[in-house]
Amino acid sequence: MPSVSEILATMDYGPAPEGNAPVLAWLEANAGGFGHFINGRFTKPAGARLFTVSNPATGKPLARVSLGAAADIDAAVKAARKAFPAWAKLAGHDRARCLYALARLIQKRERFLAVLETMDNGKPIRESRDIDVPLAARHFYHHAGWAELIADEFPGYRPLGVCGQIIPWNFPLLMLAWKIAPALAAGNTVVLKPAEFTPLSALAFAELCREAGLPDGVVNIVTGDGATGAALVQHPDVGKIAFTGSTEVGRLIRKATAGTEKKLSLELGGKSPFIVHEDADLDAAVEGVVDAIWFNQGQVCCAGSRILVQEGIAPKFLAKLKRRMETLRVGDPLDKSVDMGAIVDPVQLTRISELVETGKREGGMLLQASCGLPETGNWFAPSLFTDVEPSSTVMDVEIFGPVAALMSFRTPEEAVQIANHTRYGLSATVWSENINLALDTAARVKAGVVWINSTNLFDAAAGFGGYRESGFGREGGREGMYEYLVPGWEAGLRPEAAAKRAPLSALPPDASEPGGIDRTAKLYIGGKQARPDGGYSYSVYGAKGKAIGQAGLGNRKDIRNAVEAAAKASAWSAATAHNRAQVIYYIAENLAPRAAEFAARLVAMGQGKAEAKAEVDAAIARIFWYAAQADKYDGRVHATKSRHVTLAMNEPWGVMGLVCPDEMPLLGFVSLVMPAIAMGNRVVAVPSPRQPLAATDLYQVFDTSDVPGGVINIVTGERDELAKTLADHDDVACVWYCGSRQGAAAVEAASAGNLKATWVSHGRRRDWLSRDQGQGHDYLRRAVQVKNIWIPYGE
């Protein structure tokens, strides 16, 4: 045995095992198998439908767990649905007491839960003890507060009903807390399916629900595999699906829920950049790499797996990083001095190994820590690739293991370009001692979360979620609460019967009709009127079936041209909110003197004079309102549980597709376009196909109001055909659709391509004159995505 002086000289670590006797006793007590937790009690395990859960560090079985079938999901959903009315009507204070009780119980059982999590998942005990379990308790505490305040902070909002939640295996208990806490705070009931590899902490949590006195059916937990999750996604009585997992599965869920009216939030994969500028504290940045990629064996969706180092410091940084890699200890996760534990399952270990071999074949130089690995279990050494390109597999594909890739950049501009060279956008890390450079980089990186001089920080008060193919929706904070609520006005709308309409015809109108066609409206693309690519126009009919004009019959090429024009108008998104407000005010000012002209157009299309005047007046007022909001609807500073200024910044989506309603063709068009451009988006708008002239008459107003070319583009034609083209387009980041249920379903299904966010009407008609239904913060909130930037302060 070495002496103390020898240990101080070598700094060798001895074993520091964590006792697991209580967990073993609990597992032994359930040796017959775990049932599902449905309606406040555990079901009896069905002997033939059990699967084995193993310890990743040893490969030995831990427990047998029920394999959920469609019937189990149905029973859980029925229990949740039955419990929903009473839970939703419960006073916020009473729901808060339940959430508070759960938080206290997690704290009381924190050592038991930490050990169970480590044995089930393979992560080091100090991570589950110091990060996962305390954060899980924090989420229930935080959301107990939202439950208490919900009537004041979210007036006019309602819970959704039964929420189906599917969580991954990398943070089993923490992901459970991220999803269950806000759902319960909002007044929903839950059916949760934990990951097949790691269901045990969810079953332990079910016991806490009974101990906390949660009403039967409010929380239900059904264990199983992918088929179990699919049954939950497809259940008709589920009002929302919240999923955390791979982008591939997220895409399948988006398609499966299309047209079902289920609300959806997806937190998916990532390939996050870790940017080190030349003025960074290199020693701190090296420790940041350890936390970014070797935390939880790299099995983290926001892992900083793409390390970008400025050219002048790259050799020095790499030398420091290689030395630090050699000090990492890999081994028994229950050893408190271990840095990295086991990979969750042999399947995941095989995937990591195959991707690493691909990286080597492509010419990457693989560096691995020389630490010894245990002979049994699932292990992979901390690894780093150099000599890679932005398009290399290891720089492009999410490995989900302890493997990073490093390359250099010359200028901050190049760093941002490489960082954004990915289909993902979950998180990013920026290291610099220059706060101006750090914030500029953070603002330009396309990611939902950005950490400055820190990494992998989480808190219940700050939203977490991604851009692009990393999904949509946020978990945590105020923005996360909106995912489990719906505006009362929207929930109260009822779908109308689908109207059968003849296709728009390019044939000329009946020549025997009295009167003549007074004009042909072209498309409006890039600030210019343009003839449709197909060369066809269709007749627009007004009162008594009289042809009053023609409009271009746009096609997919016209949408392509409009999206390109919108993409080029990126300066609008970078403009100050004040400047955007001035342009929108100018639109209102220039429309007001022509109010009588626009009202006459509406009368020609069949409206009464009073009705037409009211619509034009409302449109002008609405433009003024969004002009006023352009520099008022701003972000927040979240009160996170650390020494950080955590900025929740509202950022525009970029290019939005807006498909407008038939009713109130001028006001409906204005009500969609104005909030979008007020928040800095550029839009491709499809006006009412039956009454497009109210929108096309706005060309001259836009031309005389200093609206930059490409900010507003208008393509007329068949609504659903153009809507699907917009939803298919990878350069469109968000689509709003007002139209039929069938059209809404097609938009949602097509949006799975690049996982764009959608807001569709499902055939419900809004009252566009209503300030609740036709304008408001719901429109502004849906016109932005929130980026949370963590800025440390103090010494």
The catalytic residue positions are 267, 301
Asked if residues 408 and 361 have their Cβ atoms less than 8 Å apart, the reply is no
Residue type at 417 in one-letter notation:
Q
The C-alpha R_g of the chain, in whole angstroms, comes to 28
- Residue 429 CB contacts under 8 Å (≥ 6 apart), including other chains: 272, 273, 274, 275, 288, 292, 304, 450, 451, 452, 454, 455
Q: Shortest CA distance to 477 belongs to which of 642, 644, 631, 646?
A: 646
Q: SS3 string of 134-182?
A: HHHHHHHHHHHHHHHHHHHHCCCEEECCEEEEECCCCCHHHHHHHHHHH
Residue type at 760 in one-letter notation:
V
Q: Shortest CA distance to 695 belongs to which of 725, 672, 724?
A: 672
Place of tokens 């210019």: 528
Four-residue CA torsion sign, 349, 459, 183, 469? negative
- Residue 155 CB contacts under 8 Å (≥ 6 apart), including other chains: none
Asked if residues 377 and 57 have their Cβ atoms less than 8 Å apart, the reply is yes
The pair of three-digit structure tokens given for residue 449, joined into one six-digit string: 């979360």
- Residue 486 CB contacts under 8 Å (≥ 6 apart), including other chains: 157, 158, 159, 160, 263
> C-alpha distances in angstroms, 269 versus 249, 297, 300?
10, 16, 9
Q: Shortest CA distance to 702 belongs to which of 785, 587, 789, 791?
A: 587
Asked if residues 770 and 458 have their Cβ atoms less than 8 Å apart, the reply is no
Q: Kind of pairing, strands 383-386 and 240-244?
A: unpaired
End-to-end CA distance of the chain: 40
State the alpha helices, DSSP H only, in 47-132: 70-89, 92-108, 110-121, 125-127
CB count in 10 Å sphere of residue 622 = 21
- 249: which DSSP letter? H
What backbone torsions phi and psi does residue 69 show, to the nearest 5 degrees? Answer: -115, 175
DSSP helix/strand/coil, 262: coil
- Residue 200 CB contacts under 8 Å (≥ 6 apart), including other chains: 34, 53, 62, 63, 65, 116, 119, 120, 172
What is the rounded CA–CA span in Å between residue 301 and residue 419? 16
Asked if residues 142 and 475 have their Cβ atoms less than 8 Å apart, the reply is no
Q: Kind of pairing, strands 50-54 and 61-66?
A: antiparallel
- Helix then strand then coil, in percent of the chain rounded to 5, is 45, 20, 35
Asked if residues 529 and 591 have their Cβ atoms less than 8 Å apart, the reply is no
